[in-house]
Amino acid sequence: MPNRDYHDHRKNYQLGELNDDYLDANPFTLFQQWMDEAFEHGVLEPTAMTLSTVDAAQQPHARIVLLKAFSTEGLLFYTHYESAKGRELITSKRAALTFFWPALERQIRLEGIVDKLNSDESDRYFQSRPRDSQISAYISKQSQPVDTRAQLEQRMQEAQQRFADRPIPRPDNWGGYRFIPKRFEFWQGRPNRLHDRIQFTTHPTDPQAWSSARLSP
């Protein structure tokens, strides 16, 4: 395969700015504002976020998951507890999230800890999902090898027949997590790579209090 050189691929960002007034913002309020604007501008998959975790050997792993709810208590997402990310979150509850919206020239990075939701919260969300999505969660052994695509489709058909006339129970190994931010970083692309970066971190003794700082690009 020939070498590829991308040195000349660049974009001059110029859609917005983060002035110093943002240093006084509440990070949760600013997050909600940016998320609302992503929806208003028709950003593709605005709730898609990179979830980064670390395994027992300290190897980082990252994948895209979808944000399902947000409040000052944290960000919610759902997955299989026995998946690779589920096992990694047992090893270390520390994790990071990244949102990137190229259409707005914006990025949000979050660092924090992750806790499981209780069964009632996971049950409510599971029952709100489309029926076939429930079945997919029920049959999947996420992150485990499978011989062929046909095997997955056969499992799907068998489960559809099995639950044809009754509710699908939430699997014990599937449910939600709450990501509790300890750090936010809001990034706005600016001309000439002189980007704006505003960081918010929790106070060491008061998790409800936040300090802020402008970071060099």
Q: For domain 20-214, give the CATH superfamily.
A: Electron Transport, Fmn-binding Protein; Chain A (2.30.110.10)
Write out pLDDT tens, residues 21-68.
999 999 999 999 999 999 999 999 999 999 999 999 999 999 999 999
Q: Which of 124, 131, 162, 193 is catalytic?
A: 193
DSSP string, 71-132: ETTEEEEEEETTSHHHHHHHH--EEEEEEEEGGGTEEEEEEEEEEEPPHHHHHHHHHHS-HH
Contact 54, 61 (CB under 8 A): yes
Instruction: Enter the pTM of the model.
Output: 0.91
- Give CA–CA dist 129/126, Å, rounded: 5
Does the pLDDT value for residue 174 go beyond 90? yes
Give yes or no: 106 in active site: no
